Structure 1
Amino acid sequence: MPLEDAGHIEIEGANLEYRMIGPRPEEAPTIVLLHEGLGCAALWRDFPEQLAKSTGLGVFIYSRQGYGGSSSCEVPRPLTYMHHEAIDVLPDLLDAIAFRSGVLVGHSDGASIAAIHAGDIADPRVKGLVLMAPHFFTEDEGIAAIAETKITFETTDLRDRLKKYHGENVDCAFWGWNRAWLDPEFRNWDLREYLPQITIPVIALQGLEDQYGTAAQIGCIEELCGGEFESLFLSNCAHTPFREQPEQTLAATSRFVASLFEAGTAVGNRQQG
């Protein structure tokens, strides 16, 4: 049954909210957006629509469990929550939407999930990765910034601003992310073992003023990635390239996708060619 423009999909007993823009997965390659640790489908703002318009491909956006309008989840999250999303949830989700071919575009935690998925699952349907502000290991600077965000959440209107997007999931979303990253055991979190197994093309985008990660995150994937790799460092940009430098981010993402697919060609035709 073709996907509606918006709705919910049940994965592992959880109802995940989604939006679908443009051609459906059975008609054309699909760009799947994976949000950050405090994100959700709505917090991509108009980037999905701009991406669909620029590439001519379908764009699928969803909120992970515990975020946005999806089902809630228990907190604290296990420290392996990104591995679970990448190895257990995402493959089932791609099957559920009849994903045939496409690209994963991940931001922050979402970029880490995309990297784990590509390195562990190696799904042949996934032809490339766009990684915005990715994390592959913990850094003192990032942990310090996350600790500051905890204080901001407790002392300012940040909770109210996030509640506009997460509703009743606001505490689940924030504390599920924040407590995991600030757990002392999370210092051992490291994804570098997955990088040599990523054999598909990758582009990584990093803001030069990113408070949550340094250029070392990009350096490690450049050194270890098993496939074609390119990077783009953005000035006047912190942790959210698609909001802080939207034109450059859209142009780089669209160009990368165009290098993998001819926009507007049906999946069946492309597979035959």
Structure 2
Amino acid sequence: MTAAVQVATIAWNGGPLAIEYAWVGAAASTHPVVVFLHEGLGSLSMWKQFPHQFCEANGLRGLVFSRYGYGNSTARPAAERWATDFMHRQAFEVLPPLLAELGIERPWLFGHSDGGSIALLYAARFPHQVSGVVAVAPHIFVEPVTIANIEAAHAAYLHGDLRARLARHHADVDSAFFGWNDIWLDPAFLDWNIARELDGIGCPLLAIQGEEDEYGTLEQVRGIARIVDAAQVAVLAHCGHSPHRDQPAELSRIAGSFITGNGGSSS
């Protein structure tokens, strides 16, 4: 990410949160801003050049930021354990004041993995405050394959090189990793399911998933399509959980055409 990184301060949970962010893409775009919501272990820097290249290629302006607990945003205190509603709280309590602070109205939300779930939750709760959603490899319920690979990530963090690789992208890497890993591996999280909440989505919605996604089956995006009548689904061949790394050109083409083809906003 070569764009200038700035810091916004918002109030949340009785105190201030510092959120790092950067503007990317076409500053003069007439489309609504595209807000990028990263994966469970992601951050602003872990997107690398994809948001900028995506926005430049499609004539869009984008906002990239690190959610609370990630990157150089405020870290999760070591004693704080996230509850099963942590994605709901990001969607309902953290994202709205950040958008207000930055003067962003009715954005497109481009979310990956946990970020895709957060985008869906926001669109369902605030249907008149979003122009559309691109949900990439989102989770709407918990599957055994997801838990198995999150358990594998735990082992790789403790005994492999995952911690060293993530440390390049997070000021407090243990905060970022264990905030995510502990709640996903909590037995109480097995019942997490947001499918019944999605029928409030009325904006344009594109759900994208790789056919070789190691963190979820295609039932995730197919489930979205059964609930949201207007939802479109795209399945990418030879692609795993991170299409912006595995198939960036195809992802950019499909998602960019969807956004610009919908006029940049819902009616």
Structure 2 length-normalised TM = 0.92
Alignment of 1:55 with 2:58, yes or no, is yes
Alignment of 1:44 with 2:47, yes or no, is yes
* Residue deviations 1:12-71 (CA, integer Å, cap 9, x gap): 211000011245599652000000000000111111111221222210000011100111
| Deviation for aligned residue 1:101 | 3.3
In the alignment, which residue of structure 2 is the partner of 1:210? 213
- Distance in structure 2 (CA, Å) of the matches to 1:261 and 1:62: 25
Identity of aligned residues (%): 36
* Conservation of the 8 A alpha-carbon contact between 1:104 and 1:128: yes
In the alignment, which residue of structure 2 is the partner of 1:252? 254
Alignment of 1:236 with 2:204, yes or no, is no
* Conservation of the 8 A alpha-carbon contact between 1:212 and 1:239: yes
2:95 corresponds, among 90, 93, 96, to 90
Question: Unaligned stretches of 5+ in structure 2?
Answer: none
2:190 corresponds, among 176, 187, 192, to 187
User: Displaced runs of 4+ in structure 1, greater than 4 A?
Assistant: 23-28
* Conservation of the 8 A alpha-carbon contact between 1:64 and 1:70: yes
In the alignment, which residue of structure 2 is the partner of 1:6? 5
Aligned ranges 1:74-223 → 2 under 5 Å: 74=77, 75-122=80-127, 124-167=128-171, 169-223=172-226
- Distance in structure 2 (CA, Å) of the matches to 1:261 and 1:51: 17
| Deviation for aligned residue 1:95 | 0.9
* Conservation of the 8 A alpha-carbon contact between 1:26 and 1:99: no
* Conservation of the 8 A alpha-carbon contact between 1:19 and 1:62: yes
What is the Cα-based RMSD across aligned positions, in Å? 2.0
Aligned ranges 1:61-76 → 2 under 5 Å: 61-74=64-77, 75-76=80-81
Question: Unaligned stretches of 5+ in structure 1?
Answer: 263-269
> Which deviates further from its counterpart, 239-248 or 51-60?
51-60
- Distance in structure 1 (CA, Å) of the matches to 2:129 and 2:27: 15
- The size of the alignment, in residue pairs, is 259
